[in-house]
Amino acid sequence: MAANEPRAVRVALPRGDLRTPVADRLRAASFIVEGYGEGSRSYRFEVNDIPGVQVRVFSDEDIPIQVALGHYDFGIASRMWIDELLVRFPNDSIVPLRRLDIEGDTLVAAGAPGSTLEGLASAGVMRVATEYPNIAQHYLTRLRVPDYRLYEVWAQAEAWPPEDAELAICTASAARKEGLAVLDEVHRGGVWLIANREALATRDLSAALGPLVSLPGSSEWGGIVEPDRLDVRRAAPRAVEERTAFRIAVPDGHAQRHTVTALAQAGIAFEGYEEGRADRHPVSSDPEVIVKVMRPQDMPRAVALGHFDLAMTGRDWLRAFTASFPAAPVVELCDLKRSKYRMGGVITEDLEVETIEEAIAIWRKDDPERPIRVASEYASLADEYARSRHLGKYRVIPISGASEGFVPEDAEILIEGTETGSTLRANRLRMIDVIMESTNCVIGAVERPSGRRGELRDQFVERLAAAAETAEQVTG
Amino acid sequence: MPTDTLNSTEASAMPDRGMPDRGLRSNGMRDLGPADMARFRQIERTFLEASAAAGYREVRTPTIEPLHLYTAAGTLSPQALDRVYSFLDWDGWSGERVVLRPDATVAVARWYGEQGGQQGAASEARVSYVQPVYRFAAEGNREVWQCGVELFGVSAPTADTELLLLAKDTLGAIGITDVTCDLAHAGLVRAAFAAAGLNATEQFEAYDRMLDGDASVTADLVATHPQGAAALRVLSEVDGTSVGYVANLRAAMLPVMPEAAGALDELEAAARALEVAGVPFRLRAGTARSFEYYSGLTFRFSAAGRDCVSGGRYDGLAETIGGVAAPGCGWAADILGLAAILGDGVLG
């Protein structure tokens, strides 16, 4: 780009469920992003007949921070992710322009049927699971819950109550699907068009702003709902009874197929947990064994908290967790030797260097003080990587998906996993630095439980380890 | 004690309210050079000598405290909690957040409660401290070095008077003599709320609005409690400058808000003590401070147009955070603010 050529107007659009309704409305407003809304795996688009406007697709929750940082001039995102950023980091860099006529979900406080907020808060420390820790903290502070513990989970907060948390702050639809009772409204959603304040103040963005402000809007405001405060005093700690049941957590999502196979090869089956089916509470033929399906990312925490005796997750998630909390009492018990991939530092293919040090030297050639941006879904690993490689001044950009699109425009380094490298190559990226090799594994508490739970743990680990060893020998 | 409204004058360089890219120093933090430290130590030494002479022994509490120490109703307000530095410690997998000490009084009250718990009963304790508190501020210092005193186990008005005079004497020893003092009483606000028929939850909400600076609270109270209109207006719209104002408040309030009697007695005792000590004062009876734990008299000394000492009574605090029930009160000063009032250029 020539020095005097104006910077393109940059627009961040959401992927996922919002993609289709947003694309429909953009098309109606003559802001036609060819390919967006049709399930394209591309991250970057041009806009038909509007030169100088670039579109980039992000996960919904990443859009507010990209606009706040000024990397993007406009964004369309769920209000709950906008407020999740602003309630913790109030700044005036985001201008909410208007609410669009796209329905968004509502955040609620949900608990076991029959429970009440007052009852839960007055019975001792309240354990709260949520994917929205900032909104949750704001809510609990104003509710005046005397003492609470906030479990910041990756997903499926609604899966935690009632046995692993008293409350979930999650979407209303997820709470209802899980069979939880909605106890209070926390945030009214909606989808908003937002802009970067400085960009609006200093640059001509009218080519994009004109059509974007003509998107059909909604007169409802939405946002954080201030709760009626409880009149509850601090209670004595909840009585904790030692768990007698043996609890095991198994994953859904991408990791499910490998886990079902690993269990089957060890001669273990849970009814309701098969390929293509994952009930929340699968049933073991052994009545002493209680099984629960949850996200693998959240298993290290759940085990450290003592909620499970065993969990089947990935070594990457265990490493990401212990990078944040090295004293957490959770360890790998056996390697299942499946789902192998490498995790490491990824840079653009266009940079002809052999080491990360050479890459840093190029990035800082003209500006030695330039911060290096490290994007990753594994924020704690990215931070650890930046420290261990002595990046000097750096910024970790936590992201929640669409990661291959960040480098090189929005980050210099991506901390990412890859099985074959094909996805990286397709996006003109390459791994320059390997941090770890990951497989799925079984994790448990550092301290072996006593009694029957300890015996069952030994049996499960022995069978799974033996089956993994055999399977590896067979497949070579 | 909080010094939320004290001028943390020596604003750090804050060129950028957006990205945290300000060279090598964090936003809201400042360095103290040798001359600054000499002045700092001089003030600190004078404070410790003055408070020790009055029977106050120095304590120090940890920089990191559990967040839940501050979250119960009756500790910090939600507005203050929005500005604490909270984070997950290295062992925060349990979901327990910690904070950089946002307020010294709550931390010292925790210490006192634990001492009392060991002794099995509330006891009299006079303690002093010199330590920083950390609160987010868009502009100005986020680390504020406070010197302060707390007096546990002694009820109003005896302890209130002792603290007011100690504040005046300490400021004098430091070299700040031309002071004035604002007095208020949390009990008067609460009596007004109760008289207006607000239930416990509504009182909390109205108090939150006052803490937010919402001046329409008085108008709303008058609307719901018209027979108390005169009392509410004398309380909220007139600043008294003599003990006579307390007599006027008594005449206006007691017929419609008899539960205000105790608070008025305490306010009068404080006003008389200042009158005898020759400290000009203003009675701003209805003002609120942005800390929920105040239960009685609150006060603020100022000099040269700047706030310099603030404090008050917090009888329920130690019990609220899990300790023994004990009366308590205290005050604190921003050391750098005191240095700025001295006006010799050092720390200015």
Q: Is the pLDDT of residue B5 over 50?
A: no
Asked if the structure places residue B309 within a domain, the reply is no
Residues B101 and B192 in one domain: no
> What pLDDT is stored for residue B92 in this prediction?
83
Residues B67 and B133 in one domain: yes
Of the candidates B73, B93, B321, the beta carbon closest to that of A301 is on B93
State which of B268, B287, B303 marks the end of a domain: B303
Strand ordering across the sheet containing A246-251: A270-274, A277-284, A289-294, A246-251, A310-314, A440-445, A330-335
Residue B182: CB partners within 8 Å, gap ≥ 6?
A: B281, B282, B283, B284, B287, B299, B300, B302
CA B300 to chain centre: 8
In chain B, residues with a C-beta closer than 8 Å to the C-beta of A305 are 93-95
> What pLDDT is stored for residue A112 in this prediction?
97
Please report how the helices B261-277 and B186-195 are oriented relative to each other, as an axis angle in degrees rounded to 10.
150
> What pLDDT is stored for residue B203 in this prediction?
77
Q: Per residue, what are the HEC states of chain A?
A: CCCCCCCCEEEEEECHHHHHHHHHHHHHCCCCCCCCCCCCCCCEEECCCCCCEEEEEECHHHHHHHHHHCCCCEEEEEHHHHHHHHCCCCCCCEEEEEEECCCCCCEEEEECCCCCHHHHHHCCCEEEEECCHHHHHHHHHHHCCCCEEEEECCCCHHHCCCCCCCEEEEEHHHHHHHCCEEEEEEEECCEEEEEEHHHHHHCCCHHHHHHHHCCCECCCCCEECCCCCCCCCCCCCCCCCCCCCEEEEEECCCHHHHHHHHHHHCCCCEEEEECCEEEEEEEECCCCEEEEEECHHHHHHHHHCCCCCEEEEEHHHHHHHHHHCCCCCEEEEEECCCCCEEEEEEEECCCCCCCHHHHHHHHCCCCCCCCEEEEECCHHHHHHHHHHCCCCCEEEEECCCCHHHCCCCCCCEEEEEECCCHHHHHCCEEEEEEEEEECEEEEEECCCCCHHHHHHHHHHHHHHHHHHHHHHHHHC
> What pLDDT is stored for residue B344 in this prediction?
64
CATH superfamily of domain region A107-188? Periplasmic binding protein-like II (3.40.190.10)
Domain with CATH 3.40.190.10 in chain A: 9-102+189-220, 107-188, 246-340+441-470, 342-438
Cβ contact B93–A328 (<8 Å): yes
> What pLDDT is stored for residue B345 in this prediction?
57
Q: What are the pLDDT digits (tens) for A155-176?
A: 999 999 999 999 999 999 999 9
A246-340+441-470 architecture in CATH?
A: 3-Layer(aba) Sandwich (3.40)
Residues B148 and B259 in one domain: no
Q: Which of A130, A147, A369 to mutate to test the interface with B (most CBs of B within 10 A)?
A: A147
Q: What are the pLDDT digits (tens) for B250-290?
A: 988 898 888 899 999 999 999 999 999 999 999 987 665 55
Mean residue pLDDT of chain A comes to 91
Asked if the structure places residue B275 within a domain, the reply is yes
> What pLDDT is stored for residue B227 in this prediction?
75
> What pLDDT is stored for residue B119 in this prediction?
59
> What pLDDT is stored for residue A159 in this prediction?
96
ipTM over 0.95: no
- Between B335 and A35, residue with greater pLDDT: B335
Cβ-contact B235, B188 below 8 angstroms: yes
Residues B284 and B333 in one domain: no
Q: Is the pLDDT of residue A2 over 50?
A: no
The percentage of residues in chain B with a pLDDT greater than 70, rounded to a whole number, is 86
For B346, other C-beta atoms within 10 Å of its C-beta total: 17
Mean pLDDT confidence for A461-473: 91
Indicate the SS3 state at residue B319.
helix
> What pLDDT is stored for residue B18 in this prediction?
41
Report the range out of A339-353, B159-173, B178-192 with the highest average pLDDT.
Answer: B159-173
Residues B49 and B87 in one domain: yes
Closest Cα to residue B125, out of B328, B320, B333?
B328
Mean pLDDT confidence for A425-434: 92
Relative to beta strand A44-46, strand A53-58 is antiparallel
Judged by a CB distance cut-off of 8 A, whether residue A235 touches chain B is no
Residue A200: CB partners within 8 Å, gap ≥ 6?
A: A73, A95
Judged by a CB distance cut-off of 8 A, whether residue B96 touches chain A is yes
Asked if the structure places residue B68 within a domain, the reply is yes
Range of the domain at B191: 179-303
Residues B150 and B284 in one domain: no
Q: Is the pLDDT of residue A348 over 90?
A: yes
> What pLDDT is stored for residue A191 in this prediction?
94
Indicate the number of domains in chain B. 2
Judged by a CB distance cut-off of 8 A, whether residue A221 touches chain B is no
Mean residue pLDDT of chain B comes to 85
Mean pLDDT confidence for A339-348: 93
Instruction: Assign A342 a pLDDT band (cuts: 50, 70, 90).
Output: very high
> What pLDDT is stored for residue B286 in this prediction?
64
Indicate the SS3 state at residue B304.
coil
Relative to beta strand A107-111, strand A167-171 is antiparallel
> What pLDDT is stored for residue B224 in this prediction?
77
The percentage of residues in chain B with a pLDDT greater than 90, rounded to a whole number, is 51
Asked if the structure places residue B132 within a domain, the reply is yes
- Between A336 and B205, residue with greater pLDDT: A336
Cβ contact A145–B88 (<8 Å): no
Cβ contact B71–A146 (<8 Å): yes
Residues B74 and B196 in one domain: no
Return left, alpha or beta for B55; rule: phi > 0 is left, psi -120 to 50 is alpha, else beta: left
Tokens in use for A104? 């968004």
Of the candidates B19, B71, B91, the beta carbon closest to that of A327 is on B91
For B19, other C-beta atoms within 10 Å of its C-beta total: 13
Q: Is the pLDDT of residue B346 over 80?
A: no
Q: What are the pLDDT digits (tens) for A266-298?
A: 999 999 999 889 999 999 999 999 999 999 999
CA distance B78 to chain A (A): 6
Using CA atoms, how far apart are residues A437 and A319, in angstroms rounded to an integer?
11
With CA atoms as reference, the chain B residue closest to A299 would be: B93
Q: Is the pLDDT of residue B4 over 60?
A: no
Residues B255 and B341 in one domain: no
Residues B153 and B5 in one domain: yes
Judged by a CB distance cut-off of 8 A, whether residue B82 touches chain A is yes
Residues B199 and B293 in one domain: yes
Cβ contact B86–A137 (<8 Å): yes
- Between B207 and B259, residue with greater pLDDT: B259
A342-438 architecture in CATH?
A: 3-Layer(aba) Sandwich (3.40)
Using CA atoms, how far apart are residues B248 and B263, in angstroms rounded to an integer?
14
Cβ-contact A76, A24 below 8 angstroms: no
Asked if the structure places residue B20 within a domain, the reply is no
Q: What are the pLDDT digits (tens) for A175-210?
A: 999 999 999 999 998 999 999 999 999 999 999 999
CA distance A69 to chain B (A): 7
CATH topology of domain A9-102+189-220: D-Maltodextrin-Binding Protein; domain 2 (3.40.190)
Residues B46 and B170 in one domain: yes
CATH number at residue B163: 3.30.930.10
Q: Is the pLDDT of residue B1 over 70?
A: no
Residues B68 and B139 in one domain: yes
